[in-house]
Amino acid sequence: MQPKHQRLVLVVLALVALVGAGLLAAWALRNQASYFFVPSAMAADPPPVGRPVRLGGMVQAGSLRTLPDGVTIRFTVGDGQALVPVQFSGIVPDLFVEGSGVVAEGALGADGTFLATNLLAKHDENYMPRELAEMNADEARETVAETQ
């Protein structure tokens, strides 16, 4: 075999190995991917029951209630076009309140309720850490400068 043919075989083998590695990585990430839905997208094209997804939207005012067990809450997430009932059992983030943004990780149940396993509360752009809120502007700047 001539050196030219040997190089060509090596290039072809390298390309095959590279494509194979890419396909393996894509297949592995497919199982780890968590799709994000807003309520209107979930209502229009719901994910399969039990498939892990994320649901993001606003917690509807007046929808939050605690069930008699004391750790399970039910609330509704909306985006202005659709509403999705959500149930969550566990410790609720401090920033989780009605009217705020939330991202719930979990799966859609057979009855159409989103069964959340984790809640991520979002705060608005005016959020200020409690420690900095009690300081005046100069003290806050000094504290921030010390942490950098």
pLDDT tens, 99-111?
888 999 999 999 9
pLDDT at 3: 84
- Please name which of 44, 39, 45, 40 lies closest in space to residue 59, comparing C-alpha atoms: 39
Question: Could you tell me the two tokens for 102?
Answer: 């939330």
pLDDT at 133: 67
Distance CA 71, CA 131 (A): 29
Distance CA 43, CA 83 (A): 8
Average pLDDT, the chain: 87
pLDDT (tens, 9 = 90+) of the chain, 148 residues, equals 788 889 999 999 999 999 999 999 888 887 677 789 999 999 999 999 988 899 999 999 999 999 999 899 999 999 989 999 999 999 988 888 888 889 999 999 999 999 999 999 876 666 666 666 677 777 767 776 777 6
Dihedral sign for Cα atoms in the order 43, 72, 58, 120: negative
pLDDT at 126: 66
Q: What is the pTM of this model?
A: 0.65
Question: Strands 35-37 and 101-108: what pairing?
Answer: unpaired
Residue type at position 144: V
pLDDT at 27: 87
